[in-house]
């Protein structure tokens, strides 16, 4: 569908979406194309841009996060960058809640028990998890997705707290009844659940490091549907193994799909293969956004979702 539209509209060379392109293949594509459509697994760095020649004019990222692209180098070379914001918001926020409930209500444990045919029947003290209603949720990054998580969590009866580069405007914050924490340390120390919803940038890399993980309340849970690099994954694994952290729900990892094997062994951890935005509807809308960005650019205007250096 999106592929057919791309072919109809442009002289498009389609890739095999299941196959990761090598660095050389990407550079080769960048040399031959006016527009490149990378996904989260395609790293476009400064040296690749330098090798790409003068033809490439737009990198229309298939995804909201642009940490796979060196946006500053692209800008310096006059290559525009666009992304697909908005259309991944609700799906990613839904998955954040799904992970939160999966960890706190022990859904995978129940599933495994049922699949193994091990269920011996109902008993009052079996399968007990923790209730999220009434608990404090600390959202790190109160952008579109963070706010969508806040709205959902509020409906579940959670108390909403957040840390962000800046406090939300009252007209946005008021309906959310969210408490702003200027100090991330102070927020981390007081939350029952922490949700990572900020982009990965040089200033958010390992924002949740060993020191901050140690500040977490005993038994608190951390959820990440943003980018793995925001958490020091080794330190998180140590904290979970030591029982200092109550649990984790992770959709993203520090080294892409190379997941720390120790994380996989932990009972209080739910891992998902980066599927936060993976709905059919969402993927179609992402494709439409990419097409709109390319079409607008081809018509001589700035793409509506242009990303500038420092914007994320």
Which positions touch ligand 8YV (CB under 6 A)? 39-40, 62-65, 88, 277
Q: What's the rounded Cα separation, in Å, for the pair 121 and 118? A: 9
Other CB atoms within 10 Å distance of the CB of residue 121: 5
Q: How far is the CB of 278 from ligand 8YV (least distance, A)?
A: 6
Q: How far is the CB of 170 from ligand 8YV (least distance, A)?
A: 29
Nearest by Cα to 200 from 151, 239, 282, 256: 256
Nearest by Cα to 23 from 34, 38, 35, 13: 38
User: 260 or 277, CB closer to ligand 8YV?
Assistant: 277
Query: Are 168 and 142 contacting, i.e. CB atoms less than 8 angstroms apart?
Result: yes
Q: What's the rounded Cα separation, in Å, for the pair 271 and 250? A: 5
User: 36 or 216, CB closer to ligand 8YV?
Assistant: 36
Torsion of CA 110, 115, 121, 126, to 10 degrees: -20
Q: What's the rounded Cα separation, in Å, for the pair 121 and 59? A: 56
User: 86 or 110, CB closer to ligand 8YV?
Assistant: 86
Q: What's the rounded Cα separation, in Å, for the pair 216 and 200? A: 21
Q: How far is the CB of 50 from ligand 8YV (least distance, A)?
A: 23
User: 64 or 150, CB closer to ligand 8YV?
Assistant: 64
Q: How far is the CB of 113 from ligand 8YV (least distance, A)?
A: 31
Q: What's the rounded Cα separation, in Å, for the pair 179 and 197? A: 16
Instruction: Extract the tokens encoding 105.
Output: 């209500």
Q: How far is the CB of 267 from ligand 8YV (least distance, A)?
A: 27
Q: How far is the CB of 312 from ligand 8YV (least distance, A)?
A: 10
User: 125 or 280, CB closer to ligand 8YV?
Assistant: 280
Q: How far is the CB of 159 from ligand 8YV (least distance, A)?
A: 28
Q: What's the rounded Cα separation, in Å, for the pair 167 and 180? A: 6
Q: How far is the CB of 92 from ligand 8YV (least distance, A)?
A: 7
Q: What are phi and psi of 100, to 5 degrees?
A: -60, -45
Count how many residues are written for the chain: 312
User: 30 or 64, CB closer to ligand 8YV?
Assistant: 64
Query: Are 44 and 74 contacting, i.e. CB atoms less than 8 angstroms apart?
Result: yes
Q: Which residue has its beta carbon closest to ligand 8YV?
A: 63
Longest C-alpha distance within the chain, in Å?
A: 68
Q: What's the rounded Cα separation, in Å, for the pair 75 and 67? A: 14
User: 64 or 148, CB closer to ligand 8YV?
Assistant: 64
User: 257 or 301, CB closer to ligand 8YV?
Assistant: 257
């Amino acid at each position: 569908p999106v592929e057919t539209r791309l072919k109809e509209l442009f002289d498009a060379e389609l890739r095999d979406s299941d196959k990761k392109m090598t660095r050389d293949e990407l550079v080769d594509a960048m040399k031959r194309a006016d527009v490149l459509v990378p996904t989260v697994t395609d790293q476009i760095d400064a040296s690749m841009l330098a090798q790409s020649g003068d033809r490439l004019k737009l990198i229309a990222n298939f995804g909201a996060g642009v940490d796979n692209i060196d946006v500053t180098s692209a800008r310096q070379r006059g290559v525009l960058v666009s992304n697909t914001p908005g259309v991944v918001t609700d799906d990613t926020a839904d998955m954040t809640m799904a992970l939160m409930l999966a960890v706190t209500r022990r859904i995978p444990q129940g599933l495994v028990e049922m699949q193994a045919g091990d269920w011996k029947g109902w008993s009052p003290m079996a399968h007990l998890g923790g209730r999220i209603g009434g608990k404090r949720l600390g959202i790190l990054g109160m952008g579109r997705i963070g706010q969508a998580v806040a709205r959902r969590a509020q409906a579940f009866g959670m108390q909403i707290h957040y840390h962000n580069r800046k406090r939300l405007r009252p007209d946005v914050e008021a309906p959310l009844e969210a408490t702003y924490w200027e100090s991330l340390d102070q927020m981390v120390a007081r939350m029952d659940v922490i949700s990572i919803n900020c982009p990965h940038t040089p200033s958010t890399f390992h924002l949740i490091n060993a020191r901050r993980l140690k500040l977490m309340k005993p038994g608190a849970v951390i959820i990440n549907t943003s980018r793995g690099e925001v958490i020091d994954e080794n330190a998180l694994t140590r904290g979970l193994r030591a029982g200092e952290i109550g649990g984790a729900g992770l959709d993203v990892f520090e080294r892409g799909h190379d997941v720390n094997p120790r994380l996989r062994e932990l009972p209080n951890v739910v891992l998902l293969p980066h599927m936060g935005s993976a709905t059919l509807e969402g993927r179609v809308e992402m494709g439409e956004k990419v097409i709109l960005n390319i079409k607008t650019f081809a018509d001589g205007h700035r793409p509506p979702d242009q990303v500038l250096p420092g914007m994320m």
